[in-house]
Amino acid sequence: MTRVSALILASAALVLPVLSVHASEPDTAAAPTQKLTFTEAENKYILSHKAVKIGYVTDRVPVSFKDKNGELGGISRHIFDHVSSLCGIKFEYVPLPDGEVTYDYLISEGLDLVSSVEYNSENQHARGILISDPYLSSKKVVVAREELEFSFSADLSIAISTGSQTIRKVLGASYPNFELVDYPSIRDCFDAVNTKKADLLMLNQYVAEYWIAKPIYEKLKVIPVLGLDDELCFSAVVAFNGQNAPSQEEGEILIGILNKAIAAISEDEIGSFTIQGITENRYAYSLSDFLYRYRFAVCIFIISAVLIITLTALLLRQRIKIAESRADSKVKGQFLSTMSHEIRTPLNGLIGLNYLMSQKLDDKERMNNYLRQSTVTANYLLSLVNDMLDMSGLQTQALTLYKAPLDLDLIVGTVNSITEKAMSDKGLAYTSDVRLGCPHIVGDAVRIQQVLLNLLDNARKFTPEGGSVTLTVRQNMTDDDRIKTVAVVTDNGRGMTEEFQKHIFDAFARELDTVSKGNQGTGLGLPISRRLANLMDGDITFESTKGKGSSFTFTFIAEPATLPDKGESESAAEDVGSASMPKSRPRILIAEDNELNGEIITELLESEGFVTDLAENGKAALHIFSNSTPGTYGVVLMDLLMPEMDGFEAAKAIRALDRSDAKTVRIFACTANCSSEDRHKALDAGMDDFIPKPVDIDILLKKLNGR
């Protein structure tokens, strides 16, 4: 027997979820609609049986499945009803259970027939069953990820629905290079292939085309396999070894009746039943499907809504302040006018893009272009919100520095890593000259990094392609034995006019001829950076010549510190590094009290192959974790502001549990509270890292995967 011939003999399996029987028992046998010639024994069988019980599999849409009314649905139902009318026997349809269906089960349920059995020698010779001629034939196909190169000789893993023992035997004997992996259902098989836990799935073409329509399987493809047919037939259950069941003779009579009815069905009728079954049972899109298919558009819409609400609140707050204090009303009026313009301009773009996306949902190229534009606009709005919050905190003196031992070498190294790519993408030459006499100092790592990145990003924006940017960092001792750090960012870009230099540290200050050339920014970066430098006992100064370039000098003074080891310094500089993670993908517990946010983050993570559980607040998260088997969860994504128990309390409670994984599980703060105080409060509560909302999915995935 050839390998291809062996595959033709593979069985479809007699398994799947057991569900209750919803079949009406007929009072009399059905009258045949077409005259068939039966033997005396066959006529006697027809007249003596009120109904024949047929077991059917429940997840082979559109071939055989349990419909919303609890009845057999699909192509099989149309064919079986026609067979019933031809032979004059009423059928009672009974769903088969999940897992391997045993002979004892079939006997205990009093089943006369089993459907969706593959027509092959394996089933022809199985004990206790007799198979009929095929009633439905289609192609067998392979489902795999788009990048997979399929070959019968390759070492591949194949997802098999649990209980499909005949296909397991045939494939195992003919293809020892294939690894056969059991999964509970067809959906689980698809999920395994989709998440690369298995390489491929082999099944009926009609079933494959139904499932492949689900958006989450957009990366899967159907590969036709020439010469492989999927022929389905009935199997009669008969007694052996003294079992109380229909005799071999009764089974042969029933199969004989069915074969005559099957032979009387024309190819046109089979084609009509097939088309009807497929048309009636096309895949129906759900809310989760819609959210997945347009996940980026939905995320951008949600981010836009959050930004609109936040910015509106800021506007109201600013209006109240203006109303309460008449002093300096002209400056405040100009500030509000500028802020209103900065908010409305990108919001107008977002609203327009959202409308265009709703009109072009089926135009993939335009949708991708709109999404790219929306992402850039949303990121600008987010940067505006962050800068506004920093400005507000600095003006009210609510923003304070979090001072801790840090390694300045690591911070500058991170800044260089971020900056080098941005400079290279624009075609700029970037050099860094760092000579530190005392890299271990006490300071706010996040704010030092923020100022350096702001100065370098400004230099990048205003230096044309082909230009150069240089970062120079030096240190020296002050008279009171503290460390003075001097960082100079120099470029040979456009430079600034003398008039603009007078206002460079004013809020929203931007030179008009640079704005028109696409150098979009909030105009708040330099004012914020200078005030942060002032809080560090330093300053920001500059020199600039129009058409020749600019040089910005950032100085700050700090106490020296001694770090025990490199790892501790990395912990102090929050954004310099992230907690290491296992190479295998961890199971994730999500603590999120907002239902929509929870559904979105769950859908996004599961689409990337992670297994997740969702808790509605910190108390629920603590309960789920404490009642799980140690080692179940590798990561906890913890929102901070939640009812009953907030994220800080929940993290402390998890760390205090008396179990092996309480100290090692990675806990990431995942919150819209993004102040420096919140970051350090989260770390003090026992969390390993901080992921601000709106969540940058790429950054989240890198942290989850340990990069």
Q: Which pLDDT does position 569 carry in this prediction?
A: 40
For residues 637 and 594, the answer to whether their CB atoms sit within 8 Å is no
3 state DSSP class of 473: strand
For 194-198, 424-428, 691-695, which range has the lowest pLDDT when averaged over its residues? Answer: 691-695
Q: Which pLDDT does position 345 carry in this prediction?
A: 59
Q: Which pLDDT does position 333 carry in this prediction?
A: 54
- Any idea where the domains of the chain sit in the sequence? 3-137+231-282, 288-395, 404-574, 578-704
3 state DSSP class of 357: helix
For residues 157 and 195, the answer to whether their CB atoms sit within 8 Å is no
Of residues 90 and 699, which shows the higher confidence score? 90
Cα–Cα distance, 524 to 510 (Å, whole number): 9
For 581-601, letters b (16+ CB in 10 Å) and e give: beeebbebbbbbbeeebbebb
Of residues 115 and 696, which shows the higher confidence score? 115
Q: Among residues 489, 475, 586, 477, which one has the least CA distance to residue 540? A: 489
pLDDT more than 90, % of the chain: 33
| Structure tokens, 55 | 């077991």
How is residue 135 annotated by DSSP? S
Instruction: Provide the pLDDT confidence category of residue 165 given band limits of 50, 70 and 90.
Output: low
The helix (H) or strand (E) run that includes residue 92 is strand 90-95
3 state DSSP class of 350: helix
114: β partners: 55, 235
- Please count the other Cβ atoms lying within 10 Å of the Cβ belonging to residue 333: 11
Reported as a single tens digit per residue, the pLDDT across 391-408 is 555 554 556 777 889 999
Residue 567: pLDDT over 50: no
CA distances for 519 relative to 415, 463, 698, angstroms: 21, 10, 25
For residues 50 and 25, the answer to whether their CB atoms sit within 8 Å is yes
Give the CATH number of domain 578-704; options: 3.40.50.2300, 3.40.50.2000, 3.30.360.10, 2.102.10.10.
Answer: 3.40.50.2300
Reported as a single tens digit per residue, the pLDDT across 465-517 is 999 999 999 999 988 889 999 999 999 998 888 888 887 877 655 554 444 34
Residue 201: pLDDT over 60: yes
For 435-455, letters b (16+ CB in 10 Å) and e give: ebebbbbebbbbbbbbbbbbb
Mean pLDDT over 447-459 rounds to 88
Reported as a single tens digit per residue, the pLDDT across 4-24 is 333 333 333 333 332 223 333
The helix (H) or strand (E) run that includes residue 637 is strand 635-638
What is the pLDDT of the chain when averaged over all its residues?
79
Classify domain 404-574 at the CATH superfamily level. Answer: Histidine kinase-like ATPase, C-terminal domain (3.30.565.10)
Q: Which pLDDT does position 574 carry in this prediction?
A: 42
Residue 454: pLDDT over 50: yes
Q: Which pLDDT does position 514 carry in this prediction?
A: 46
In sequence order, what DSSP letters do the residues of 251-282 get, joined into one string?
HHHHHHHHHHHHHTS-HHHHHHHHHHHHHHTP
Residue 571: pLDDT over 70: no
Cα–Cα distance, 391 to 396 (Å, whole number): 9
Q: Which pLDDT does position 291 carry in this prediction?
A: 73
Q: Which pLDDT does position 297 carry in this prediction?
A: 73
3 state DSSP class of 228: strand
- Dihedral sign for Cα 452, 456, 458, 459, please: positive
Of residues 392 and 147, which shows the higher confidence score? 147
CA distances for 602 relative to 291, 599, 606, 693, angstroms: 11, 5, 6, 15
Reported as a single tens digit per residue, the pLDDT across 52-63 is 999 999 888 999
Mean pLDDT over 424-450 rounds to 90
Q: Which pLDDT does position 441 carry in this prediction?
A: 93
Question: What one-letter code names the amino acid at 561?
Answer: A
Instruction: Provide the pLDDT confidence category of residue 564 given band limits of 50, 70 and 90.
Output: low
Cα–Cα distance, 532 to 454 (Å, whole number): 12
Of residues 269 and 371, which shows the higher confidence score? 269
Q: Which pLDDT does position 192 carry in this prediction?
A: 93
Reported as a single tens digit per residue, the pLDDT across 573-632 is 344 333 344 446 789 999 998 887 888 888 888 888 889 999 999 999 999 999 999 989
Cα–Cα distance, 14 to 96 (Å, whole number): 7
Give the CATH number of domain 3-137+231-282; options: 3.40.718.10, 3.30.460.80, 1.10.150.130, 3.40.190.10.
Answer: 3.40.190.10
Residue 673: pLDDT over 50: yes
Q: Which pLDDT does position 378 carry in this prediction?
A: 67
In sequence order, what DSSP letters do the residues of 145-194 get, joined into one string?
ETT----TTS--EEEEETT-HHHHHHHHHH-TTSEEEEESSHHHHHHHHH
Q: Which pLDDT does position 21 carry in this prediction?
A: 32
Residue 32: pLDDT over 80: no
Mean pLDDT over 210-231 rounds to 85
How is residue 215 annotated by DSSP? G
Q: Which pLDDT does position 666 carry in this prediction?
A: 92
